[in-house]
Structure 1
Amino acid sequence: MLRPTLLAVAALAAATALVTGCGTGDDWSKPHPRPSAVGTPGPGFIDPSDPPGPEATATPEPGSWEGVSPSKGYRVVLLTTGADRPTASLVRAVKDWAAEEHVSLRTVAASGAPDLLPAITRAMDMHPDLIVSAGNDLIDPLATVTPNHLSQQFLVVGAELAEPTGNVTSVDWSGASFRGEGLGMSSTYDAASFTPERCAASIRAGVTAVLSDLTGIVLWLDKV
């Protein structure tokens, strides 16, 4: 019979092996297959005969995004800043979605204004399949960075860039609609509109668009 000390060592070794095994499966330094959509958008997501062009706004039918999931191994960086309630609601929705869809999620949080651009760089340096942005203070820095990194896909939830390039997709609604560039907060801004249901819909609808190659557009979720 193993003595208590030996039992403790064996238990520690087993736990270490388990943690190491999990970490190896989540090693972003290794290449992985190009991500794809599992499932297809439902009726009303977009009009297939007349898909939205660059910088266009589309209004998908509620729930039309529910049938789409990312393929196994989808790598996402949640880029965020701010502790306000709307941002916190978006962050929670992204994390819940990642857990439900078994997405490999990492988080980069900018610590303040001087760290906004460096935080975007840190996120891009991870080479994720998608960077999801939550927090209005990131909008202007993203407008500066994204046109120079067209191979990196970005998804902005709860706000939008005034002039997005084809690698930036946004999900917005009347109560959000922050666009940066010194325009100030929209007159229709309503923090109460960042409900758990709408925040959850924003990440699912946005990822559905990205996985369906409907990028560089704004999805408008007033119907949620």
Structure 2
Amino acid sequence: MRTPLWAAVVLALAAGCGSAPGDDWSRPRPAPTAAGSLAPGFVDPSSPPTPEGTITPRPGSWDGVHPARDYRVVLLSAGDDAPTRALVAAVQAWAGAEHLELRTVTAAGDADLMPAITRAVDLHPDLIVSAGDALVDPLAVVTASHLSQQFLVVGAELAEPTHNVTAADWSGASYRGEGLGASSDYDAATFTPQRCDAAIRAGAAAVLTGLTGIVVWLT
């Protein structure tokens, strides 16, 4: 008996839903690899950073490190202010240049901050990149419960990060959460395309080479 046309369409749609991109990310796979190595000046090999410590790498010392092309990144963002938009654009440009698998999760207001982080974690990426100061406090709560998931905060930092949370920021961009103050005065004008690009590249290089749970301070 022939299958009615409407039934065939339903079956085709169901098959398409079953092969959604998110399903592929949920499958186990080998740990991601990185190509290249850090140049001298990124970190002092004789004095590696301590947990929650800060390093000040030489500019460009991260340029030789690149993620594998199947590296899976979730861009988690909150807010529509100019600094956040600059960070988002830098992450998207980096992912495109490196031919990475990038998905985005955007928090729809304050009530959606925690759910947005959960949605990002549920995608099982290799790295979650956070852009937007509003995410700092929720991340401080959530990240300690997901120690196998790597996080990179760009343009801000957590005051007491666990080993799976790395930050890349600079003078003018060092928000650490409500009531904790910042290590420098906030200056939206410092969120230039060049600075934001350096933050994602230097931060990702640190994560890819196992230097996690620290702050990468750009000069």
Structure-1-length-normalised TM-score: 0.86
Q: Name the structure 2 match of 1:194.
A: 191
- Misfit runs of 4+, over 6 Å: none
The one of 16, 35, 39 equivalent to 2:36 is 39
Local SS of the residue matching 1:54: coil
Root mean square deviation, CA, Å: 2.1
Q: Where does residue 58 of structure 1 map in the other structure?
A: 55
**Structure 1 CA distance for aligned equivalents of residues 96 and 29 of structure 2:** 20
Instruction: Check the 8 A contact 2:169/2:199 in 1, yes or no.
Output: yes
1:174 CA displacement: 1.1
CA displacement 1:122-156 (0-9 Å, x = unmatched): 00000000000000000000000011111110000
The answer as to whether partners of 1:97 and 1:204 remain within 8 angstroms in 2 is yes
Which 5+ residue runs of structure 1 have no aligned equivalent? 1-22
1:27 and 1:146 mapped to 2: Cα distance?
23
Corresponding residue of 1:18: none
The runs of 5 or more residues in structure 2 that have no matched partner are 1-19
Counterpart AA for 2:83: P
AA aligned to 1:154 is F
Q: Which amino acid aligns with 2:197?
A: A
| Equivalent in the alignment of 1:29 | 26
Q: Secondary structure at the match of 2:48?
A: coil
- What's the CA shift for 1:184? 5.2
1:180 and 2:195 are equivalent in the alignment = no
Q: 1:159 is paired with a residue of what secondary structure?
A: coil
Residues 32 and 73 in structure 1, CA contact (< 8 A), matched pair in contact too:
no
Compute the TM-score of the two structures, normalised by the length of structure 2: 0.87
Would the aligned equivalents of 1:162 and 1:181 in 2 still touch at CA under 8 Å?
Answer: no
User: How many pairs were matched up?
Assistant: 203
Q: Percent identity?
A: 68
